[in-house]
Chains A and B, each alone.
Chain A
Amino acid sequence: MNDSDLAADTARGLLAVADSGHATGDRIAGRAWVAPTMSVFIGLLMGVFLLASIYVFPTATGLQAALISGGYLAGILVAVAAYNLGRRVTPSGWIDRYERGLAISCVVFFVSLALSFLIDERSALLWVPLAVATVLPISYYGTKR
């Protein structure tokens, strides 16, 4: 700043401008829906794929298994593309939260998948909660403000 003093009134005015700018940023971030929606969608894909691998894959033909796997991969690609193309704003800290949720969901997903090879149990009482446990972390952290 040069030698001319910034008057208290001018400083007060600039603080009001900053507050307004903060409010604008909050409003923009509050309207973000693409990133949270993608989080839930990917979580659901993982949960459905886990259930498919338990109930459908063991009796599926090669073609059916390929179609389900292809659909899963296509769903992931569509979600990521929609995120990259459609989002107008990335809420503050969202990437870190999303990555944390994705990491937890992936751990639950792969542990559950490994478990399915180790035990013959196919009860919905076991696998539906595990599928929900796969969906929840990424959905929760991806939609958390």
Chain B
Amino acid sequence: MTELNHPRHRVDELLTAPIRLSIIAALSRADEIEFRTLRDSIEISDSVLSKQVSQLEQAGYVRVRKGYLGKRPRTWLSITPEGAVALKSHLAALAAIVDAGAE
């Protein structure tokens, strides 16, 4: 089999969605961010954030931790080491595509 060298082959399909990319990029800058804080900062709804986080969690890129503040549920989000690697690789591939396009 021919080795695939073009940077597009290193692009992570899951992270081509801008919302998911925003979420994982924001999470990469902290150990843990509370769900509502991230929701308000990215300016998306509960349901959209839940859905996107769920996909990132299934891929093993994001960890979801649930707790309680009194009786109110609270959710904490963090990027996993696999997610950090995937993000770094994805951004490198995007940069390579931009560079290739500029040549």
Q: Which residues of A contact B (CB under 8 A)?
A: 1-2, 5-9, 11-15, 17-22, 24-29, 32, 84-85, 87-95
A17-B41 Cα distance, complex, nearest whole Å = 14
Q: Is the interface of B mostly helix, strand, loop or mixed?
A: helix
Total interface residues on B, using CB and 8 Å?
Answer: 38
Residue numbers in A under 8 Å from B69 (CB-CB): 85
25 CB-based A-B contacts, threshold 8 Å: A1-B8, A1-B10, A2-B13, A11-B11, A11-B97, A12-B94, A12-B98, A14-B21, A15-B95, A18-B25, A18-B87, A20-B22, A21-B22, A21-B24, A21-B42, A22-B25, A25-B26, A28-B29, A28-B37, A29-B30, A85-B69, A88-B33, A88-B34, A89-B33, A89-B34
B11 to chain A, nearest CB (A): 4
Q: A15-B98, A21-B23 are in contact. List 9 more A-B contacts (CB 8 A).
A: A5-B8, A6-B16, A8-B97, A8-B100, A12-B98, A18-B94, A25-B26, A25-B28, A25-B30
